[in-house]
């Protein structure tokens, strides 16, 4: 962490806590942390993207544990999704890590726009099982893995919306989501490490904040249910929209 300013470390850690809470309850927290690492700290786009993955990995491990402690495990429902997600994540991370920083930032912005419109439509959340045909599930979650492996930021929102439309309520959708993101991130992280796209000083600071936020967010979600999660989801989507249209 040589050369890291104290103010930068505190800012990144604080952003990690906030992003971890948002990620555990809805998704989109990485939009804050990637932008912070890139714009305010000054890391190149691809390094900011890779560095953020370390925090996301730790946060989702923390959130999985917190959901399990609260009596809600997403592992069983997540299992059929992991093969297509894993394949998509590996391909996505290999492709994006070969981009230039400028290309990454431009493509990232363009791909976020359809996610905003998809997320703004209120999902149906009436059941506790995924009701889609297996072929549709495989196709959708291969695409989720592809996007998550490449860009990460916003993938939680995409997963929650997909799972909610497939029939899951928001609490169970989030419990499945953190398992799926844990796996797709674990597949993508080695690619960014091998290609030297991780700043380990900021990654360590960010991971601490993400871990705390991920635990808190999952505990709040379990206790508050849809009543608490839905407002966070709305705020996350609104923030995503504002970021994409250039309000900040």
3-class secondary structure per residue, 98-111: CCCHHHHHHHHHHH
Cα–Cα dist 117/120, whole Å: 5
Mean pLDDT of 218-238: 71
Band of residue 124 on the pLDDT scale cut at 50, 70, 90:
low
With the C-alpha atoms ordered 71, 161, 119, 19, is the resulting torsion angle positive or negative?
positive
Cα–Cα dist 213/85, whole Å: 24
Number of H helices, E strands in the chain: 10, 0
Provide CB contacts within 8 A for 68, sequence distance 6+: none
Mean pLDDT of 146-166: 85
Q: How big is the chain, counted in residues?
A: 248
The residue whose two tokens read 């996350």 is 236
Mean of all residue pLDDT scores within the chain: 83
What tens digit of pLDDT does each residue of 217-226 get? 888 888 876 5
What tens digit of pLDDT does each residue of 36-83 get? 888 788 898 899 999 999 999 999 999 999 999 888 888 888 999 999
Closest CA to 109 of 151, 145, 143, 149: 151
Cα–Cα dist 29/21, whole Å: 8
- According to DSSP, the residues that pair with 127 across neighbouring strands are 168
Res 235 pLDDT > 80: no
More confident residue, 29 or 239: 29
Cα–Cα dist 47/38, whole Å: 8
- According to DSSP, the residues that pair with 168 across neighbouring strands are 127
Which of 184-188, 211-215, 233-237 shows the lowest mean pLDDT across its residues?
Answer: 233-237
Cα–Cα dist 211/57, whole Å: 9
Q: 4-10 — which CB contacts under 8 Å span 24+ positions?
A: 4/201, 4/202, 4/205, 8/40, 8/41, 8/202, 9/202, 9/205
Res 143 pLDDT > 90: yes
- Predicted local distance difference test score (pLDDT) of residue 1: 44
- Predicted local distance difference test score (pLDDT) of residue 52: 95
- Predicted local distance difference test score (pLDDT) of residue 167: 75
3-class DSSP state of 248:
coil
Res 25 pLDDT > 70: yes
Provide CB contacts within 8 A for 67, sequence distance 6+: 73, 74, 174, 175, 178, 218, 221, 222
Q: Which two tokens stand for residue 116?
A: 């905003």
- Predicted local distance difference test score (pLDDT) of residue 229: 63
Band of residue 194 on the pLDDT scale cut at 50, 70, 90:
very high
pTM to 2 decimal places: 0.82
More confident residue, 16 or 25: 16
Cα–Cα dist 151/129, whole Å: 28
Q: What are phi and psi of 21, to 5 degrees?
A: -65, -50
Cα–Cα dist 190/149, whole Å: 11
Res 2 pLDDT > 50: no
């Amino acid at each position: 962490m040589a050369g890291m300013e104290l103010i930068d470390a505190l800012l990144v850690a604080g952003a990690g806590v906030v992003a971890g809470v948002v990620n555990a309850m809805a998704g989109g927290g990485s939009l804050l942390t990637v932008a912070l690492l890139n714009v305010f700290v000054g890391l190149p786009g691809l390094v900011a993207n890779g560095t953020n993955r370390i925090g996301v990995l730790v946060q989702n491990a923390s959130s999985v544990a917190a959901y399990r402690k609260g009596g809600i495990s997403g592992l069983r429902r997540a299992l059929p999704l992991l093969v297509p997600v894993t394949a998509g994540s590996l391909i996505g991370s290999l492709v994006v890590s070969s981009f230039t920083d400028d290309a990454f930032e431009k493509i990232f912005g363009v791909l976020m726009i359809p996610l905003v419109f998809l997320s703004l439509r209120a999902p149906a959340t009436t059941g506790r099982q995924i009701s889609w045909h297996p072929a549709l599930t495989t196709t959708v979650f291969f695409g989720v893995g592809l996007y998550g492996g490449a860009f990460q930021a916003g993938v939680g929102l995409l997963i929650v919306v997909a799972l909610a439309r497939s029939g899951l309520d928001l609490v169970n959708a989030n419990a499945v989501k953190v398992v799926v993101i844990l796996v797709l991130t674990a597949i993508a992280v080695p690619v960014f490490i091998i290609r030297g796209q991780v700043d380990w000083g900021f990654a360590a600071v960010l991971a601490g904040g993400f871990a705390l936020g991920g635990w808190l967010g999952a505990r709040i979600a379990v206790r508050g249910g849809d009543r608490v999660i839905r407002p966070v989801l709305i705020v996350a989507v609104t923030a995503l929209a504002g970021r994409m249209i250039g309000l900040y």
